[in-house]
Homo-oligomer: A and B are copies of this chain.
Amino acid sequence: MSANIEAAKAALSHLDLETREAGIKAASRDFFWYSPVLKDRLDHVMADFVVRPTSEAEVIEVLKVCFAHDVPVTTRGAGTGNYGQAMPLAGGCVLHLRNMDKVREITPGRVVAEPGCLLKNVDAATREHSGQELRMFSSTWETATIGGFVAGGSGGVGSVTWGSLRDLGNIIRLRVVTMEAEPRILEFRGEELARVSHAYGTNGIITEIEMPLAPAYDWVDIFVSTEDFGAAVALAEDVANEDGILVKLASVYEAPIAHEFFQRVKPFVSENSNLVGLMIAPHSMEGFLTFLARRPEVTLIYRSDDHDWPRRPGKVFEYGWNHTTLRALKVDPSITYLQVRYGFPDHVALIEKIRASFPEGEILQHLEAMRMGGKVAFGGLTLVRFTTEERLDEIVRLHEEAGAMIFNPHRYTLEEGGRQMTDATQLNFKREADPKGLLNPGKMISWDDPEFGYDAMYAYPGLKETAE
């Protein structure tokens, strides 16, 4: 199967087509470079052209043409993913959805939007319409799209209350176009959502998204510091377990993350300060301050509604989730990270066990309180000082042996970034919806190499060595 790039470009020339090298290069990259491993493997990856459809009809047209000419299609939003979700490993077409950015309908508890709509624009529209906002979003809310979040994300700010995207009810409906000679339009709800959510666009193109909403509040951003790491963890967990206090974010940053990497926070903390970042609903502030006053071991250093910091620190959620890693590696380029899950009820003991098993300074705990099956526990986006790939693999192994689950962000396949096993639901739907295997090739191991054993990093054989 050989792609006829020129024929596809010609057939799509009436659309918003990007053929300049600089433009193609820019649209062929996401935030894979947080990982030195992915940076090594994928830095050269480049599509042959980029097309930016403005409607579902145009998406269908692109897919028909690419199907006819055997051209791989990798879909992207803003490209803020860190697992190389949007990297066009086999070249071909990048389907850029940024022009499909409309909010279509808002009702109590629901929004319907096109996939290229920025998260912040969904929230702006729903807030303006009826005081509502998305239940959860990535820390890249300013720049990321709702489609990218659903297809490539798992949770984020808001997961402390609402759990993960994969939890029932956190996505209501997805409209999907298949990659066939005659693309079909399908509507998925309920169990069917698992076919295409968090599938990196490997088995269909999402053209419309219906998400649940929560009430929008003027969340109060808060920083609390303490010299005791355990007190910081307990604070985040306990506030999330306060049923009457409405929380949108509870992040823990082990010392000296705040002092070393959070420039505007630095004047207010020491090297020994562990930091907790919180978003609290304004009408929960009295309850929160009461809760805080019961803990003399912690100090409130910032609240966005009442402070005398000469320079505002910006949004607290832009210190959390994977913005923490971004801030750290801007200061120290040797920093990378792991994505860890510490499940209830052993989460706190597990975190302590793991902390104790590494040399000082090699890893730093960054935790995000989140609900899993109704219980508050922690996701970890552990900062790691990178030395070698071998040591990084060993760090992963040590976490897994201790009992933590790792979603390895130094791998570009769905399986390795997930549970290291075939997702039959996604695979079966790919068989049906992408018979030629043209969608985001190289990201689903079970499609390319069903016998893969996960003993070393998967290397997609179709990875183009240089741009054509």
Contact = CB atoms under 8 A, between A and B. Distances in A.
Contact of A167 (B169, B189, B242): B242
Contacts of A244: 135, 162-163, 167-170, 212
B109 A282 contact: yes
A265 B189 CA distance: 30
Copies in the complex: 2
A106 B162 CA distance: 26
A286 B172 contact: yes
Given A162-B243, A169-B242, A243-B167, A108 B283 contact: yes
Contacts of A374: 240-243, 375-376
A293 interface: yes
B375 A191 contact: no
Interface stretch (A213-221, A407-415, A420-428, A451-459): A213-221
B286 A371 contact: no
A168 B290 contact: yes
A448 B214 CA distance: 48
B293 A190 contact: yes
B169 A241 contact: no
B169 A246 contact: yes
Contacts of A242: 163, 167-169, 374
A373 interface: yes
A392 interface: no
A291 interface: yes
Contacts of A190: 286-287, 289-290, 293
A180 to B, nearest CB: 27
B286 A373 contact: no
A135 B246 CA distance: 11
Interface in A112-170: 130-132, 135, 161-164, 167-170
A385 interface: no
A357 interface: no
Interface in A237-255: 240-246
B215 A169 contact: no
A219 to B, nearest CB: 11
A172 B283 contact: yes
A110 interface: yes
Contacts of A293: 190-191
Contact of A375 (B213, B214, B286, B375): B375
Nearest to A190: B290
Contacts of A164: 243
Nearest to A192: B290
Contacts of A376: 374
B130 A243 contact: no
A167 B167 CA distance: 27
A215 B108 contact: yes
B287 A168 contact: yes
A266 interface: no
A213 B283 CA distance: 9
A288 interface: yes
A462 to B, nearest CB: 36
B215 A163 contact: no
A415 B214 CA distance: 39
A169 B247 CA distance: 11
Given A110-B283, A284-B212, A375 B167 contact: no
16 contacts: A108-B131, A108-B283, A109-B246, A109-B284, A161-B243, A162-B244, A163-B242, A168-B242, A169-B288, A172-B283, A172-B287, A173-B286, A190-B287, A212-B246, A212-B284, A243-B372
Given A164-B243, A212-B246, 12 more contacts: A108-B283, A109-B284, A168-B287, A169-B245, A170-B243, A190-B287, A190-B289, A190-B293, A214-B215, A241-B375, A243-B374, A374-B376
A-B pairs, 9 with minimum CB distance: A241-B374, A163-B243, A169-B287, A169-B244, A109-B283, A190-B290, A170-B244, A167-B244, A168-B287
